[in-house]
Structure 1
């Protein structure tokens, strides 16, 4: 967040944030596997790091992502869509898919609502956009995922401030920004 201390924001711009609704359970597995294969095939150093072929890695990843079972009230279910909550591979797969999706979203955004700042952490995104264009950007983001499963919600700064990732980002008088903790946590060691 230190990089935000140098960001200037004009009067005709606002800070906004977007969040993906239930990212893990809405990540489209087939599309995510395609993104992963593409990344692996373009990785020039893969053979230096593993003896597994791209096909081997893809078969293992497919198996992990499509054979997820869980128990609820004594019954066993198979997860049919999305990545499993709690699986160590889910954040990686969801992040790779989001990286692909954000590249598409920024590249195809109409000029009027194209963000001039885009900072993403997993499914939380902070943007700086032209005032009055937040809904247009949200509408655009909600069309980028061809599976129509990834949906975004948004929030606009209020009174010159916006919460983002446990921080409160505020607008200073000169247009500069600052971020401060939204929540202060004090941890005291118990006497033993």
Structure 2
């Protein structure tokens, strides 16, 4: 059974400490399983924290609210000089000012909190104009937005990696075509330095576009699978070795070459009498979504079969997705400028060997 965390706050000055102990013990006896636990916290110096609110008792018995920060709080926020879009940084300012307006109850305390926020943000590189810009926006009355039309609800939305100076231009172009866009960080310290998961063995990878080379010629085979790569490679190998293990007369071999096989790798090995280099496959890209994985496979087949690499593939078709030849020049240009793989939705940055 999952244990529950219950927040219980009693604001009763006349309740003595002994009464609090007795009440807590009584409440904890209600649940025989022990999964429901009540605790209490006493005020210190006339104040007590609750979540991000500090409740302060005034001499006249009334209370006022302040923003609560732990003793270990560092006032470290998103640095203004970091590679994030401007509206993300302005969002930090807006969040802190909104919290000040909604929690702090007295005007003098609000001014002190605003001074604290401004000092902390200046330390994080925020210029005064950024803080003033958000304050001005907050002071302006909010316009009532009309309910979204069917066109607004159904229009396309794309997520772009943020590259300063580039993403903004792309967003402006998309807006002219009524395409909404959002951004996400492209490179972060976590992505560069932290690898919480163990490296997955190549044969255990799923949702991959792969390449298997021939041992006797430059030809390769490009394919995709949503299953374990090791399982798909084994299927290719079993069929290839099954065909190669059969003994043929000249006439029988000639007849067998006219039979279309399920695997283009097996067909190449049988017709050319070549060995397949099973020990050196390559994972070109990873993608868990079948439709986009099919598109990636077709792009890779088109890249590998460009004019400068004619007759370089064992593949007998262009993949599961019928990619329009409209994209040929774009694929050719990308192939000639770089050999890096297409970025995948698993965060792969390069080719696995």
Task: Tell me which interval the TM-score lies in, with the shorter structure as reference length.
Answer: 0.3 to 0.5
Q: Could you say which structure has the larger radius of gyration?
A: 2
Q: Which has the higher strand share?
A: 1
With normalisation by structure 1, the TM-score equals 0.33
TM-score of the superposed pair, with normalisation by structure 2: 0.19
Give the structure, 1 or 2, with the largest relative contact order (CA under 8 Å, sep 6 or more): 1
